[in-house]
Amino acid sequence: MKAKTRLASKAKPVAVKMAVECEKLAQEAGEKYRLALTNEDKFAALEAQSSYNQLAADWRATALRAEELSPQKFTGRNNGPNAQTLKRVQFINEVSSAIGPASHEAIASEAAGKNYAKKAKALWSGKSIDRESKILNFMRNNAKNLSLTFKD
């Protein structure tokens, strides 16, 4: 059983149960070894005990691996807004409130302009020529998060 499936969280209890069962079978094989009279029976019991111990070790490893995998890795849960996005929203709101009601383009050009160039460079990577279009795209994509007043 691979623990890399979407159901890794469900793999651990099954793997632990299988490991316990294999350990029990290995102990029973050990008892058969102690009670065996012929060399062939002893060899067969010893071989079975070794095989069951190996299976138990494999199932224990599977259980440990299933524990390491977090279900959050596969489920795509929403962790809320990114810290960088929050900083960008705050920056756009700050620029908008400083210049008053204006169009999207005016706010973006002011944000990419000389007065806010350092802060815009820290928030948006790339060339300064492309920064204004990146800010415009960000404003369109995050319109619901921005508290802007427009002149249009």
Domain boundary residue, one of 75, 106, 130: 75
Query: pLDDT (tens digit, 9 = 90+) per residue, 37-62?
Result: 899 988 998 899 999 999 889 988 88
Is 49:29 a contact under the CB 8 Å cutoff?
yes
Please indicate, yes or no, whether residues 19 and 70 belong to a single structural domain of this protein.
yes
Is 17:46 a contact under the CB 8 Å cutoff?
no
109 or 78, which is more confident:
109
The pLDDT > 90 percentage for the chain reads: 14
64 or 31, which is more confident:
31
Please indicate, yes or no, whether residues 129 and 70 belong to a single structural domain of this protein.
no
SS3 at position 145: coil
Locate 59 and state its tokens.
Answer: 């199932």
What span, in angstroms and rounded, lies between the C-alpha atoms of 121 and 86? 16
pLDDT at 151 over 80: no
Please indicate, yes or no, whether residues 121 and 137 belong to a single structural domain of this protein.
yes
Q: What is the CA radius of gyration of the chain?
A: 32
Domain boundary residue, one of 46, 75, 104: 75
**pLDDT bracket for residue 32 (50, 70, 90):** confident
In this structure, is residue 46 part of a structural domain? yes
The per-residue pLDDT for 21 is: 92
Q: Which residues contact 89 (CB under 8 A, 6 or more apart)?
A: 81, 142, 145, 146
Please indicate, yes or no, whether residues 89 and 126 belong to a single structural domain of this protein.
yes
Greatest CA separation found in the chain? 98
31: containing domain: 8-75
pLDDT at 3 over 50: no
Range of weakest confidence among 12-16, 17-21, 72-76, 116-120: 72-76
In this structure, is residue 122 part of a structural domain? yes
The count of structural domains within the chain is: 2
